[in-house]
């Protein structure tokens, strides 16, 4: 803050005494509180899209931007049984909110609800696959490019988690309309024992005590109550409040989305078709992906060796392993380390906010 200078005193002795008094007084008083940075501004947005070019639908998202504005927006797609809450946890947000960390770093964020989840339209689950969701995300990105969703941005980073990462890979490898791709919780090798734990947690939504009341198509899936920690967070610390929060905010997934995501992790070539910078981030203890015969998650260098064959040189692939946590790394107690890895990668690749 600028200081106003007082008029010079004509009496040097009096001025010196005043200065000495001010110094002594300052030493006896607490320092003034540091000014806190202004909070990001957030707004709910609704984007009209077409499903299979036939059915009009609405995609809901939360658009947040730092007070000084941003050149780059990160479009964030959640994974199976998650919605946009995954990117902006209200429990210990200084640690667990990816959205908050990115806004503080100067990026705008648009965290989406996939079709079928959150406040987005809920079509019959049979109409939803990772491919149809990728086309919907493409329509959202086009709306952003045209300035139909808030301000215009110079660059778009498409980020995903798990199934959301599969959707991001399909979108970026098909439409080539983004400037960078952030992939979390997805790799090209699956660890069968751990994957069975995750897939074994799914039940029809009609069997869930809470979500069954929403009147959804009964063929949607969710996770069995009490399985969130084992499926998504182990071997990270089992924090009861965090597990309860994850259970309370869980959502649904269509069976076709899961089938596409599993196929992408083994045979589909869309990652090779990505021609913009890519960062892959995994939890070091992600049981569904990591293992001696699966993905090397022992280090960031090991992950790079595992994933490099599936990306072209144009992707300029970078990797990061967040040690000690499982699949849903946004909820890790050391998530700020991963946040820094994302912002450093984006800056290195010329994608700064």
Residue 268 banded pLDDT, cuts 50, 70, 90: confident
Residue 156 has pLDDT above 90, yes or no: yes
3-state secondary structure of 113: coil
> What pLDDT, on the 0 to 100 scale, is given for residue 103?
98
Residue 2 has pLDDT above 70, yes or no: no
CA 244 to mean position of chain CA atoms: 20
Task: Return the DSSP state at 267.
Answer: T
> What pLDDT, on the 0 to 100 scale, is given for residue 19?
33
> What pLDDT, on the 0 to 100 scale, is given for residue 94?
97
> What pLDDT, on the 0 to 100 scale, is given for residue 260?
84
State the DSSP string of 306-340.
HHGGGS-GGG--EEEEETT--S-GGG-TTHHHHHH
Say how far apart CA 47 and CA 232 lie, in whole Å: 30
Q: What percent of the chain has pLDDT over 70?
A: 88
pLDDT in tens, 139-154: 999 999 999 998 999 9
> What pLDDT, on the 0 to 100 scale, is given for residue 32?
34
Residue 339 has pLDDT above 70, yes or no: yes
> What pLDDT, on the 0 to 100 scale, is given for residue 130?
95
Residue 263 banded pLDDT, cuts 50, 70, 90: confident
DSSP E strands: which ranges in the chain?
Answer: 41-51, 55-65, 72-77, 108-112, 155-161, 180-184, 202-204, 221-223, 278-283, 318-322
3-state secondary structure of 104: helix
Residue 3 banded pLDDT, cuts 50, 70, 90: very low
Count of alpha carbons within 13 Å of 188, Cβ hemisphere only?
Answer: 17
Q: Which two tokens stand for residue 32?
A: 């003034």
As a whole number, the mean pLDDT across the chain is: 89
Residue 43 has pLDDT above 50, yes or no: yes
Residue 97 has pLDDT above 70, yes or no: yes
Strands 155-161 and 72-77: parallel
> What pLDDT, on the 0 to 100 scale, is given for residue 129?
96
Residue 288 banded pLDDT, cuts 50, 70, 90: very high
Mean pLDDT in residue range 196-205: 95
Q: What is the pTM of this model?
A: 0.89
Mean pLDDT in residue range 73-86: 98
């Amino acid at each position: 803050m600028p200081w106003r200078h007082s008029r010079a005193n004509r009496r040097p002795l009096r001025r010196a005494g005043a200065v000495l008094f001010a110094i002594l007084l300052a030493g006896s008083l607490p320092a003034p509180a540091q000014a806190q940075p202004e909070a990001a501004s957030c707004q709910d947005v609704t984007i009209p899209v077409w499903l299979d070019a036939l059915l009009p639908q609405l995609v809901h998202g939360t658009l947040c931007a730092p007070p000084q504005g941003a050149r780059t927006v990160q479009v964030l797609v959640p994974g199976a049984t998650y919605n946009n809450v995954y990117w902006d946890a209200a429990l210990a947000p200084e640690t667990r909110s990816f959205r908050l960390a990115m806004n503080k770093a100067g990026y705008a964020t648009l965290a989406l609800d996939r079709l079928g989840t959150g406040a987005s339209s809920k079509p019959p689950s049979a109409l939803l696959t990772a491919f149809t969701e990728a086309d919907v995300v493409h329509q959202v990105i086009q709306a952003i490019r045209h300035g139909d969703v808030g301000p215009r941005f110079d660059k778009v980073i498409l980020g995903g988690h798990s199934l959301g990462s599969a959707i991001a890979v399909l979108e970026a490898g098909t439409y080539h309309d983004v400037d960078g791709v952030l992939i979390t919780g997805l790799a090209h090798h699956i660890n069968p024992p751990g994957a069975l734990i995750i897939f074994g947690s799914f039940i029809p939504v009609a069997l869930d005590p809470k979500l069954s009341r929403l009147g959804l198509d009964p063929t949607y899936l969710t996770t069995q109550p009490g399985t969130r920690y084992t499926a998504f967070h182990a071997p990270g610390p089992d924090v009861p409040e965090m597990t309860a929060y994850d259970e309370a905010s869980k959502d649904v997934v269509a069976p076709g989305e899961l089938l596409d995501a599993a196929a992408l992790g083994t045979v589909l070539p869309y990652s090779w078709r990505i021609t913009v910078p890519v960062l892959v981030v995994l939890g070091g203890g992600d049981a569904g992906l990591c293992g001696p015969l699966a993905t090397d998650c022992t280090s960031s260098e090991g992950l790079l060796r595992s994933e490099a064959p599936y990306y072209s040189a144009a992707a300029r692939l970078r990797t990061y392993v967040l040690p000690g946590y499982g699949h849903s790394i946004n909820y890790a107690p050391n998530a700020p380390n991963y946040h820094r890895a994302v912002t450093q990668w984006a800056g290195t690749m010329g994608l700064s906010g």
